[in-house]
Structure 1
Amino acid sequence: MRRFVSLASRASAAASTAVAVGTSLIRARGPRAISSLPAAATAAVVLGAVLLPAGAHPPAAAASMVRTAADSGAVAQPSGTADPVPADELFGTDVRRIPTTRRVVALTFNAAWNGAGVDTVLKVLRERKVPATFFLTGQFADAHPSVARAMAAEHGIGNHSYSHPRFDDLSSEGARQEVLEADRAIREATGAVPLPFFRFPYSETSPERIADVNALGFADIEFTADTNGYLGTAGGMSADTVVARALDALTPGEIVQMHVGAPDGGGTVLDAQALPRLIDAIQARGYEITDLRTLLSTATP
């Protein structure tokens, strides 16, 4: 019995070491740090990251950190060559609004099908001097590298999986591969360091898949309102309804989801067409367009 207890104690100590190593590696070097590790080491890293939100950082301190950054509007920048890191409060949940009492709204665009509206969207954002975040699939980045680079040159880039599958149909390993393959494609296409933010295809979240994504160092950033502009006029949408859907959900910290293309590959991209009016309407109601990079940790990795 004593021998069994001794072995159990050693195993517990080894597990604690794995947790510490895994946590430190992802925090210091970002999600790609684990992609080339041997299987045993990867398991240790993932274990460390999965347990991180529950025990490694006091929730009160984490909440204070993210609220301070969001409420001040500060954009945290990565230190040295380390990847940016999400604020700790973002782990363990699907984030559907910025945790703030300030009258701010974040504009986000998914890019999965085509880039028909990208030029218009970037032009409007540039002219209005407002930020946005673009969530790219890896397939989009591989197919449209010049478009991906244009987005990354001016705005933050998030991860929207590689092939836009339904994550409910994936195993943990399948989910991991989707996220890491998209991360690789985005980095290669843009030449930039993407944000540690992931958005599930179809907003199909679950505690298990969120834990998988968090284990890789990504926070799950969903949305408060989807404009449904991607449905197009054939789907009963118009520029008016796009603006109305975003304004109906207006609240401090709202995250608006739009798209830069359309699934059928043609027609008018309503989100691009409606964007100038949407920005004007948000600002006319006393709200500021903010950057999702306010959700990055202000701590040095």
Structure 2
Amino acid sequence: MIRDTVTRMLRRFAIVLIAFGACASSATPRNECEKPVYLTFDTGHMGIAPLVAEVLQRQQVRVTFFGANERTKEGDGSLGDHWAPWWRARAQEGHEFASHTWDHVYWRGDLGGKVNPSFRVRPSAGPREGEAHVLSAAGYCEQIDRAAHRLQAMTGRQPLPLFRAPGGKTSPQLLAAARACGYTHVGWSPAGFLGDELPSDKFGNAALLHTALRDIRSGDILLAHLGIWSRKDPWAPAVLEPLIQGLKERGFCFRTLREHPDLGKKQ
């Protein structure tokens, strides 16, 4: 009889615990995020791409990748067949994708008027690498579209209707042309420039990490790359994982641009 009484008491206690857990779960959703930051990666030589993927998977962080078909240390370009399995795996992990223009085309100036705009450009990849030439608005849109379509073909995931101009270099006329073909430009926050493009002899990893942890604020869009040719002391994973861990310790959480309160409305 004593055993039966104890059993009944334990069952009632378990029911209370389950009910309390359900209430707590509903009161505090698992996906609640009060201090979001938006980590983004542009393509590059892809030499550190596998290490970046390992860190993101280990830290359970989802990011937004902006892809261009840049020259790589291995394979046939960052959006080439060699790297297609890598992109497909990132899609399976829940990351998001957007265009960085196919040939990594830098805007250099506006030509023409608002009715028929064209642009002076200089791509850093592709058959016209390093060559200054002129693109019409339709030609620039084709550059955005081509990278977006390739990302979708590799990942099976619809890219975001966003793009990032190489170097963040734009003009009101260029942005208007991109909007006309369905794309919104995304730059980065001042504190979100993580410095992996800077020379490592003047801007060491420890200093870049310290600056980022000190200055990043809620809502910032952060920028890094999948390999910078000129940086001798790779930024990732040396800075990437301590940065993620440090921001988490400060109460930040990581979201993709699909979840951005302003950019998400455009999708």
> 2-side partners of 1:73 and 1:104: how far apart?
14
> 2-side partners of 1:190 and 1:268: how far apart?
30
Structure 1 unaligned regions, length at least 5: 1-71, 76-100
State the one-letter code of the partner of 1:121: V
> 1-side partners of 2:173 and 2:107: how far apart?
10
Paired position in structure 1 for 2:15: none
CA contact (8 A) 2:257 2:264 kept: no
Q: 161, 175, 180: which one pairs with 2:101? A: 161
Give 1:230 shift.
3.1
Q: Provide the secondary structure at the position in 2 that maps to 1:109.
A: strand
User: CA-atom RMSD, angstroms?
Assistant: 2.8
> 2-side partners of 1:245 and 1:218: how far apart?
32
Bigger share in helix: 1
Give 1:259 shift.
0.8
CA contact (8 A) 2:41 2:66 kept: yes
Indicate whether 1:126 and 2:91 are aligned: no
Paired position in structure 2 for 1:207: 172
Paired position in structure 2 for 1:259: 225
State the one-letter code of the partner of 2:79: A
Q: For residues 116 and 165 of structure 1, do their structure 2 counterparts lie closer, same or farther at Cα, with a shift above 3 Å needed? A: same
> 2-side partners of 1:200 and 1:282: how far apart?
27
Indicate whether 1:247 and 2:213 are aligned: yes
State the one-letter code of the partner of 1:202: G
Indicate whether 1:189 and 2:154 are aligned: yes
State the one-letter code of the partner of 2:225: H
Q: For residues 256 and 173 of structure 1, do their structure 2 counterparts lie closer, same or farther at Cα, with a shift above 3 Å needed? A: same
Give 1:298 shift.
6.4
State the one-letter code of the partner of 1:231: L
> 1-side partners of 2:240 and 2:253: how far apart?
15
Give me the identity figure in percent: 25
Paired position in structure 1 for 2:3: none
Q: Provide the secondary structure at the position in 2 that maps to 1:131.
A: coil
Give 1:268 shift.
4.4
CA contact (8 A) 1:74 1:294 kept: no
Q: Provide the secondary structure at the position in 2 that maps to 1:283.
A: helix
CA contact (8 A) 1:231 1:237 kept: yes
Count of residues in Structure 1 that have an aligned counterpart in Structure 2: 201
User: Residue by residue, what CA displacement relative to the aligned partner does 1:111-156 show, whole Å, maximum 9, x if unpaired?
Assistant: 1x32111111111111111211111104421263223223323211
Give 1:249 shift.
3.3
> 2-side partners of 1:122 and 1:200: how far apart?
23
Q: 160, 178, 203: which one pairs with 1:237? A: 203
TM-score by length of 2: 0.66
> 1-side partners of 2:60 and 2:31: how far apart?
17
CA contact (8 A) 2:99 2:145 kept: no
Q: Provide the secondary structure at the position in 2 that maps to 1:223.
A: coil
1:266-277 aligned within 5 A: 267-277=232-242
Indicate whether 1:110 and 2:42 are aligned: yes
State the one-letter code of the partner of 2:46: G
> 1-side partners of 2:265 and 2:139: how far apart?
31
Q: For residues 227 and 257 of structure 1, do their structure 2 counterparts lie closer, same or farther at Cα, with a shift above 3 Å needed? A: same
State the one-letter code of the partner of 1:119: P
Indicate whether 1:150 and 2:117 are aligned: no
> 2-side partners of 1:200 and 1:73: how far apart?
35
Give 1:286 shift.
2.0
Q: For residues 294 and 216 of structure 1, do their structure 2 counterparts lie closer, same or farther at Cα, with a shift above 3 Å needed? A: same
CA contact (8 A) 1:149 1:189 kept: yes
Q: For residues 298 and 255 of structure 1, do their structure 2 counterparts lie closer, same or farther at Cα, with a shift above 3 Å needed? A: closer
Q: For residues 267 and 252 of structure 1, do their structure 2 counterparts lie closer, same or farther at Cα, with a shift above 3 Å needed? A: same
> 1-side partners of 2:258 and 2:96: how far apart?
7
Bigger share in strand: 2
Rg larger in structure: 2
User: Residue by residue, what CA displacement relative to the aligned partner does 1:15-41 show, whole Å, maximum 9, x if unpaired?
Assistant: xxxxxxxxxxxxxxxxxxxxxxxxxxx
State the one-letter code of the partner of 2:193: D
1:22-61 aligned within 5 A: none
> 2-side partners of 1:249 and 1:212: how far apart?
34
Give 1:171 shift.
3.1
Paired position in structure 2 for 1:222: 187
Structure 2 unaligned regions, length at least 5: 1-28, 71-77, 109-119, 121-134
